[in-house]
């Protein structure tokens, strides 16, 4: 199946189907994910997730455009999200990337840890996991929240690309930050 058909299939699945598929996919390497990737929400698990998703990333006044990444070394990278605003692109919500065990099945996922930087996404403990569905097509599952129960609600999204080059690092790193089980719950304690 070609990449466009895979992306279309992901758009048709419900959250349960997306999670089931996610557990069958492999993590991309740190080196594989380089540049900007078009981003879109997929089926959300409940009305609260639909509403918060629309407010946060499907806002017509400042729509979510992409996630972008660059490898730093063979084990980690950096990234950000972009949003459109009045015809301009704004970079927001920096993250650290690494390969880590998934909260869903313990297998490796390309993991985005927002808490590594000072931002709203870091403050709400956002973590995304990404796996390759096809060349240039990636299924992501985002989580956020202050409690374990809140951080177990999956928020699927689609990445396709790369569609452009990485624009440059943003954000202020949290001093002495080391991801813990709140960010990486699939990691054995």
pLDDT tens digits for range 147-184: 988 999 999 999 999 999 999 999 999 999 999 888 99
So what's the pLDDT on residue 51? 84
So what's the pLDDT on residue 189? 63
The upper half-sphere exposure of residue 147, i.e. CA atoms within 13 Å in the direction of its Cβ, equals: 2
Spell out, as residue ranges, where the chain has pLDDT lower than 50.
none
So what's the pLDDT on residue 186? 85
C-alpha distances in angstroms, 63 versus 36, 91, 121? 15, 12, 16
Q: Which domains, ranges and CATH numbers included, belong to the chain? A: 3-164 (2.40.128.580)
Q: What is the pTM of this model?
A: 0.94
So what's the pLDDT on residue 97? 98
Please tell me the distance from the alpha carbon of residue 117 to that of residue 64, in angstroms, as a whole number.
Answer: 19
Report the 10 Å Cβ neighbour count for 158.
Answer: 20
Q: Which of 146, 150, 184, 128 lies closest to 46 in space, CA to CA?
A: 150
Element (H, E) at 87: none
């Amino acid at each position: 199946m070609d990449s466009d058909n895979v992306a279309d299939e992901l758009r048709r699945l419900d959250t349960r189907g997306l999670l089931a598929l996610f557990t069958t996919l492999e993590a991309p390497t740190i080196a594989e994910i380089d540049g900007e990737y078009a981003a879109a929400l997929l089926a959300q698990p409940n009305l609260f997730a639909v509403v918060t998703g629309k407010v946060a990333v499907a806002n017509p006044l400042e729509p979510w455009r992409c996630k972008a990444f660059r490898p730093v070394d063979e084990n980690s990278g950096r990234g950000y999200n972009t949003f459109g605003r009045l015809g301009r692109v704004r970079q927001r919500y920096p993250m650290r990337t690494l390969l880590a065990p998934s909260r869903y099945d313990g297998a490796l996922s390309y993991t985005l840890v927002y808490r590594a930087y000072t931002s709203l996404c870091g403050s709400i403990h956002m973590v995304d996991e990404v796996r390759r569905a096809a060349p240039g097509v990636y299924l992501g599952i985002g989580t956020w929240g202050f409690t374990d129960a809140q951080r177990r609600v999956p928020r699927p999204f689609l990445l396709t690309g790369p569609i452009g080059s990485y624009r440059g690092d943003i954000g202020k790193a949290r001093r002495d930050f080391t991801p813990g089980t709140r960010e990486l719950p699939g990691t054995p304690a």
